[in-house]
Chains A and B, each alone.
Chain A
Amino acid sequence: MKRTANLVVVFFSSMWLIALLTTAVFAKDAPAINVPGGTQSNSGQVDGDTVWKQQCSRCHLAPGAINKKKMMTISRHMRDVAQLTHEDYQALKEFLGR
C-alpha cells in the first residue's frame, strides 16, 4: 500500500515536472517591463531605470508582464525587502507604473 502511494506521488510529481518543463521550453517570453530608457521622477534627481539596475537586478531579472496595480503592491514589498530610500522608491514606482 505504501509502495503504491509512493509510486503515485512519484508519478504525478514526474508528470508535473514534465509539464512544467514542456511549458517552460515552448512558452513564449512574456513581454518584459520596458526597462531601458529610464524616467525622471518628480524630484528630477533619481532615475527609475537606474534604481532598477542598481537595486532590483541584484537579485532577479526583469519580471514579465504584471498588472500595474499589482506592480504597485509588489513595489511596496520590495521597498522594505531591498530597503530603498524614499526617493528611490518613488522613482521606481513611477518607472514601473508607466
Chain B
Amino acid sequence: MKKNLVALVLTACVVSAFASTAVAQDALSASPVVTGFTTQDNTFSEHEKKFNFGVNPVVLVPVGREGLFLTEWEFGYDLHREDGKTEKEFEYGLEYLQLNQPFSRRFTGIFGKFLTPGMWNERLHPSWIKKTSYAPFTAGLLPGSGTGLMVKGALPFGQSADLTYSPFFTAAISNKYFDSERMVGGRTGLFLKNRGLDVGFLAARSLQNEQTNTYGVDLTYQLRDAATDLRGEYYSSSKGSAYWLEASKRFKELPVKSLRRLELAVRYEYANPIVTHEEHEEAVMPEEDEHHHGEMDEHETDTYADGHDDSVVIDDHKNDHRETNNENGHHGDFPEIRTNRLIGSINYYVRDGWKLYLSHGRKNTPGSGMSDNVWNFGLAIRFVR
C-alpha cells in the first residue's frame, strides 16, 4: 500500500515538474493536453452478460523544444453476470508513463513505462480506433507494456517509403503500476507511403525464467480510393501462435451524407496454443487432488528439459472456452485451447472520435462442435481538453 502511494506521489511530482518546465520553456509553441477516451461496452452471450464502463485519461506535457512527457491511466467498472451469479469489479492501472526525447532527427529516446512495439498494441487498441471490439488473440502473446528504454525512429527512402525501427529493453520489475518483464526486442517496418502498404517484423526475447522468443509479422494495406483497410498480424511464441486478418470498409461514395459515416468490419482470427502435459491434464481434470498435481510437476520438469517436442497441442472436446488471465499488462487474452473466432462489426462514426458499434462474434473450438455466440454493442468517445 505504501509503495503504491509512493508511486502515485512520485508520478504526481514528475507530472508537475514537467508541466512547469514545459510552460516555462515552450509556452509559445505547445501546451499541456488532457485527452483520452471513454467506453461504454455491453456484452451478451448465452451464459453471461457483461456491462463495462471505462475511462482512459491521457496527459501530454511538452518538455523543452521537442520532448514530451505522457501518461495514460485506465479505470474500469465491470458488472458481470454469469450462470446466475453477479459480480462487480472496479479496476485501475497504469498503461504507460514515459518521457519521449528526440536526440537527433532519426532517433527518439523513450524512457519509463511504455507500450511494447506492435501494430495493434501501439496504434489500434484504443476503443475509439479499433474496428472490432475484441482484442485479437495475438495480443496475449507479448506483454503489452514494459518499463525500460526504447529508441524509435524513421528513415525516409525518397518520398515514397519509410523504414521504421523501435528497439527496446525492459527490466524485471514487480510493482502494481510498473510491473515489467526483463525483455529485449524490437520492431522494424517498411511503409510504402504512396501505396499505403506497411509491413512490420517484430522479435523479442524474454530474459527471465525460460528465456523464450516471440516473433511477429504485421501488415496494413490501405486502399484509399476504395476506403478499405486490410490489416493482419501473426505472432509466434512459446505459448503458441496466432493470427488475425481484418477488413474494414467505409462508404464515402454514398449519396446520403449520414451513411458515409458507416463502416463495416470483419475479422477472422485463429489461436493455436502449445500446452505442456501438466496444463493439458489440468484442463481435462481440474478437480484433481494435490498429490496428482505433484506427480505432474515432476513430469513438467522433464517436459521442459526435453524442449517443445514433448509438448501437447490440446484440442480436447471436454474443454470449455477458458482464456488465460490478462497478466503482465497484456492488452488481450490468449486461449488455452485451439480456437478460432469470426467477428462482424458495424461502426458508426457520429463524428471523429465518437464511435457507436454493434458486433457479433462467433468463437469455435475446431473438432469439438462447441461454439459461443457473443453480441456486443457500445459507444467509444475520444476527448481532448
Contact = CB atoms under 8 A, between A and B. Distances in A.
B124 A70 contact: no
A85 B29 CA distance: 20
Contact of A74 (B35, B51, B100): B35
Interface in A36-91: 45-46, 53-55, 57-64, 66-67, 69-70, 72-74, 76-77, 79-88
B33 A45 contact: no
Given A83-B164, A85-B162, A69 B108 contact: no
Contact of A17 (B32, B40, B66, B164): B40
B350 A25 contact: yes
Interface in B155-198: 155-156, 159, 162, 164, 166, 189, 193-194, 196, 198
A20 B55 CA distance: 14
B47 interface: no
B384 A80 contact: no
Interface in B321-358: 349-354, 356
A58 B222 contact: yes
Interface in A10-29: 10, 13, 16-17, 20-21, 24-25, 27, 29
The size bracket of the interface on A is: 35 or more
B51 A73 contact: no
A80 B108 contact: yes
A4 interface: no
Contacts of B319: none
Interface of A: 2, 6, 9-10, 13, 16-17, 20-21, 24-25, 27, 29-30, 32, 45-46, 53-55, 57-64, 66-67, 69-70, 72-74, 76-77, 79-88
Given A76-B62, A76-B66, A83-B154, 17 more contacts: A21-B379, A24-B354, A24-B356, A27-B350, A29-B351, A53-B224, A58-B220, A63-B353, A63-B384, A67-B31, A72-B30, A73-B60, A73-B68, A74-B60, A74-B384, A84-B154, A88-B156
